[in-house]
């Protein structure tokens, strides 16, 4: 009985550590994508004058933003 409880506890700890690791990696990747997208948006507005309209679009959660000049 003790070995079964120990095994269950060990598996629960390993699964918990795995879930936390995946969560931290995903949060880190989202943060990096957010910083990259902010930089793209800043550069987009710096490169066009105030009279030009620009469109910032994003296809999906993991995709980078796109800056396009409206004509």
Which pLDDT belongs to residue 21? Answer: 98
**Residue 52: what pLDDT?**
73
Higher pLDDT, 67 or 10: 10
Burial class of 40 by CB neighbour count within 10 A (0 to 12, 13 to 18, 19+): middle
| pLDDT, tens only, 5-60 | 999 999 999 999 999 999 999 999 999 999 998 998 888 888 776 667 778 888 88
pLDDT of 22 reads 98
Kindly report the pTM of this predicted structure: 0.71
């Amino acid at each position: 009985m003790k070995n079964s409880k120990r095994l269950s506890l060990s598996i629960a700890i390993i699964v918990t550590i795995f879930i936390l690791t995946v969560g931290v990696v995903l949060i880190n990747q989202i943060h990096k994508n957010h910083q990259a997208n902010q930089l793209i948006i800043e550069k987009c507005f710096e490169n066009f004058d105030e009279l030009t309209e620009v469109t910032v679009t994003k296809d999906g959660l993991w995709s980078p933003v796109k800056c396009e000049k409206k004509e």
